[in-house]
Structure 1
C-alpha cells in the first residue's frame, strides 16, 4: 500500500507553507529518515523526511507551490511500479503495524473532534498533537490554534553601493535569517544576566555521571533539564504573545542550539516535562547526535517553546542569543572565568518583566 508524506506544520500559526524543492526523483528508492525535500514559511525552513523505506511514486505538491499543512506532498510505494492513489482516497496509517502511542494532549484533541487514533498517521511513531492537527487539516477540520502574530512592516533594504556578488543562502541560513527577522519584527527583546558559582553544578553533574555510569558529566543536558523543571513551575516563561494575550504552552518543548559544521540547529526535545532527568539526558543526547549528522527528524527541528544556548565550547564568557520564533525565554550559558560564571536570558518583554526573568535565572543557577 502506498504511503503518503504530508506537508508538515512548521509552527502553530501557519496553515500553509511553501514547497521549496525535492531532493528525490520518481522511481528513486529512499530510506526511512532520508530527506526528500524542503518547505518554508516566513519564519523557518524545514527538511521533510521519509517515514518509511520505499520508492518515490510521484509528487502531489510542486516546487514554489503554496500547500496546505497536512495535505499530501508526495507518495512512496513498496515498488516503483505501484500506482499512485487517486485524489480523495483515504491515506493509509500505521495501524497494521500495531497501535501507535498517543500523547495525553493528542487524546484530548481526538476526543474533541470525535476522531479515532488509528485514523491518524503518526509522527516519529507517536500520535502527537501535531499529527492530529495534520489529520484535521487534511479532512477540512480546523484545530484550535493561536492567531497569527502581525509583524511590523519595514521598507525593503537598499542594495549596497559597493560592488559585490550575491550568494544564495543555504536552507539553514534561510532559517536563521527568518528567526532573526522574527526577533526583530515581532518580539520586544530584552536581556538580563546574573553572576553565579558554577561549582555546585559541576559537582552535581559529576555525581550524576557516577550514578548513571556515563562517560562524561552531562552538565549542559542537566542544566537544560533544570530549565524544563523551572518552566513547569513558572509557566509564563514557556509562553509567547498572541493577539494581545499571553499564550502559555501546554507542553515544554526544549530547543537546544547545536553547531554542526557550518550549520546551526535548534534541536527540539518535545514534551520534555513528562521525562525524568535520566530520560531527558538520553533524549537530548539522541536528538543532538542526529543534529550533528544533519539527520534531525521532522518533530525534532521545529516547535520549540523555550530555548537553551551555550557557548562554553568556544570559551565565550558572555553572549546574547536571538529568540526563536514564538518563544519568550532563551537561556544563555557561557564559560566560567576566575571561578565565577554568568547565566543570562534573552526574553520577550511582552510576556515577561525583568523581575520574573531574574527569578527564573536564580532558580537555574542552582541544580536543586
Structure 2
C-alpha cells in the first residue's frame, strides 16, 4: 500500500519552504522514522521522516523546488516495490540493475559504488564540481583524488573508494551539487584494457550527455562548451570523437594542447559611416567564464560589510628599522633553532595581540543588538590564492611564540594554495591582518571581515627621508591602516590601538617585557 510523504505543517509565520536535500533516492529501502528529506524555510531546516518502513517509489518535489505546508513530496511503497520510471521514459536505477546481463555494457565486472559529494557543514548549502581529475574508464588507485568540489569556503576532495575506474559521471564540471549527492558510479577492478575496447568511449559519451549545444554543424557536450569558451576556440576546427561526431571535453583539451583550433585573426575594417572612430588593428580577444563560488562569496561578503558597518579607516606609519635589525641579527640562529624563517608577520601578530588586550572594543564583535567581548585573541591572516582570498585563523595568539606564528602562517599559505585548508580553520576569528605590501601596495583601505569590528592593513616598506632628532635620515617606513566599525569602536580607541602597534614594533623589546 502506498503512503504519501508530506511536508511538515509550517508555522503561521512561514509561508513556504524549499526542498534542501533528499537523503534517499527511488528504490531505496527506509526504516520507520528514518530521515528521508530536509525542507529549508527562511527560519529553520525541517526534517521529514518515514511514516513507516518501506521503499521510496516516487519523488514529486525535486531538490530546490518550492513547496507548501503539507504538500506531497513523494510516495512510499511497500518493501521491495520497484520505483516508478521517470517521466522522460528513462529506467530507474533499480530497473537498470535488474536488466538482463546480456543487455548491460558495464565498464568493468567488479562491484559498483556510488561516488558521493562530501557531507557539507551546516554553513554550506551546496558546492560546485570544480574539476574531474579522472575520466571514465581510466584506472585509479584507492584514495586517489577523483574530483574536487568547490564551496564558498574551501575545496573538498572526492577520492576513489577502491582500486578500479569510473563507470559513469553524473555531475559534470561546473554543475552545482548538494551534500552527499551522487557524483558518479565507480566500478572496482576496472580501468585500462579491462574496461573493454567499447566501454570507455561509450561511457565517456554518456558522461558528457546532458544539455548539448549545437554550434554550426557541431554538437558540443556541456564540459566541452565550457572549455571552448575559456580558451576562445574555433569550434569548426575541433574534431569530435563522440557519438555522431559529438565534441567531448577530451577533444577540446587535445585541440588546446596542439593549438589547432585557434581563431583566425580578423582584419580590421572601419565602415564609412564610422570613419570618425579610431581603427583598431589585430585581435581583441575576450572570454567569459562563470564566477567561481568562492569569488561570489567574497564579493557578497565585502559588499555586505560596507553596507552594514559604519566603516572608517585611520592611518599611521611605523619605522621598521628596529624589527629589520633584529631580523638581520638573528635570522640564521632563528632558522637553525626553529626550522623556519623569521618574517615580519610574527612581530605584527604579537603586537596586535598585545594591543587587542589593551583595547577590548577592537577585539569585540556585534551580534544583532548585542556586543560580544572575546576574552581571547584569534587573529585571521589573509592569504591570496588563485581561487581568491581566504582567511585562516591563528588561535590564542597571545600564548603563541613568534616561531609558532611563522610556522603556522607558512603552513596556511601552502595549504591554501593547494586547496587543503579545512572549514574550521577559517571560522571564528576576532581580528584580521592583511598584507598588501607583498604585492607592492604602498597604502590601501582594508575592508572589515564580518562579524569582526576591525582589520589591520600592512603595506610595503619604503625608504623615505624622515626627521629624526632634528636631522633628516633615510628610514624604512611602512604605512599602517586600521579599518573599524564606528558603531562599536570610537575614533579615539581606534587611533590609540594603532599607535600601540606602532610603538611595539618600533621598540620590539616591549613585546618581551610586556610594557
Aligned to 2:307: 185
Structure 2: how far apart are the matches of 1:30 and 1:237?
49
Q: 1:112-150 CA deviation, whole Å, 9 max, x = no partner?
A: xxxxxxxxxxxxxxxxxxxxxxxxxxxxxxxxxxxxxxx
Deviation at 1:36, TM superposition (A): 4.3
Distance 1:32 1:350, change over 3 A: farther
Aligned ranges 1:5-44 → 2 under 5 Å: 5-9=118-122, 17-21=125-129, 31=143, 36-40=148-152
1:348 aligns with 2:470: no
1:203 aligns with 2:325: yes
Q: 1:269-325 CA deviation, whole Å, 9 max, x = no partner?
A: 234344222212211111112123333233334433211111222332211111122
Match of 2:405 among 249, 271, 280: 280
Aligned to 1:291: 416
8 A contact 1:222–1:281 mirrored in 2: no
| Higher RCO (C-alpha 8 Å, min separation 6) | 1
8 A contact 1:206–1:217 mirrored in 2: no
Aligned to 2:499: 362
8 A contact 1:7–1:73 mirrored in 2: no
8 A contact 2:441–2:460 mirrored in 1: yes
Match of 1:47 among 155, 178, 192: 155
Q: 1:155-211 CA deviation, whole Å, 9 max, x = no partner?
A: xxxxxxxxx986421233213202212212222211001122121222233345244
Aligned to 1:322: 447
Aligned to 2:196: none
Aligned to 2:195: none
Q: RMSD over aligned Cα, in angstroms?
A: 4.2
Aligned to 1:249: 374
Q: 1:35-55 CA deviation, whole Å, 9 max, x = no partner?
A: 742444xxxx433356x9856
What is the TM-score of this pair, normalised by structure 2? 0.44
Structure 2: how far apart are the matches of 1:30 and 1:174?
34
Q: Which runs of 5+ in 2 are unaligned?
A: 1-115, 167-174, 189-285, 465-474
Distance 1:358 1:20, change over 3 A: same
Question: Secondary structure in 2 aligned to 1:235?
Answer: coil
Structure 2: how far apart are the matches of 1:74 and 1:351?
46
8 A contact 2:448–2:454 mirrored in 1: yes
Report how many aligned residue pairs link the two structures: 271
Match of 2:296 among 140, 151, 174: 174
Deviation at 1:32, TM superposition (A): 9.0
Structure 2: how far apart are the matches of 1:203 and 1:33?
46
Structure 1: how far apart are the matches of 2:370 and 2:478?
35
Structure 1: how far apart are the matches of 2:453 and 2:147?
30
8 A contact 2:313–2:482 mirrored in 1: yes
Structure 1: how far apart are the matches of 2:351 and 2:405?
10
8 A contact 2:154–2:422 mirrored in 1: no
Structure 2: how far apart are the matches of 1:30 and 1:185?
48
Structure 2: how far apart are the matches of 1:288 and 1:184?
27
Question: Secondary structure in 2 aligned to 1:296?
Answer: coil
8 A contact 1:252–1:270 mirrored in 2: yes
Q: 1:221-271 CA deviation, whole Å, 9 max, x = no partner?
A: 321232233324433222221122212235433221222346333233234
Question: Secondary structure in 2 aligned to 1:6?
Answer: coil
8 A contact 2:443–2:479 mirrored in 1: yes
Aligned ranges 1:154-165 → 2 under 5 Å: none
Deviating above 6 A after TM superposition, structure 1's stretches of 4 or more consecutive aligned residues are 24-30, 32-35, 72-75
Structure 1: how far apart are the matches of 2:143 and 2:496?
47
Aligned to 2:362: 237
8 A contact 2:154–2:419 mirrored in 1: no
Question: Secondary structure in 1 aligned to 2:482?
Answer: strand
What is the TM-score of this pair, normalised by structure 1? 0.59
Structure 1: how far apart are the matches of 2:449 and 2:127?
22
Distance 1:191 1:29, change over 3 A: farther
Q: 1:81-137 CA deviation, whole Å, 9 max, x = no partner?
A: 7xxxxxxxxxxxxxxxxxxxxxxxxxxxxxxxxxxxxxxxxxxxxxxxxxxxxxxxx
Q: 1:1-35 CA deviation, whole Å, 9 max, x = no partner?
A: xx9953225xxxx5x63444475699986759997
Structure 1: how far apart are the matches of 2:287 and 2:125?
29
Question: Secondary structure in 2 aligned to 1:196?
Answer: strand
Distance 1:291 1:46, change over 3 A: closer
Q: Which runs of 5+ in 1 are unaligned?
A: 57-62, 82-163
Aligned to 1:149: none
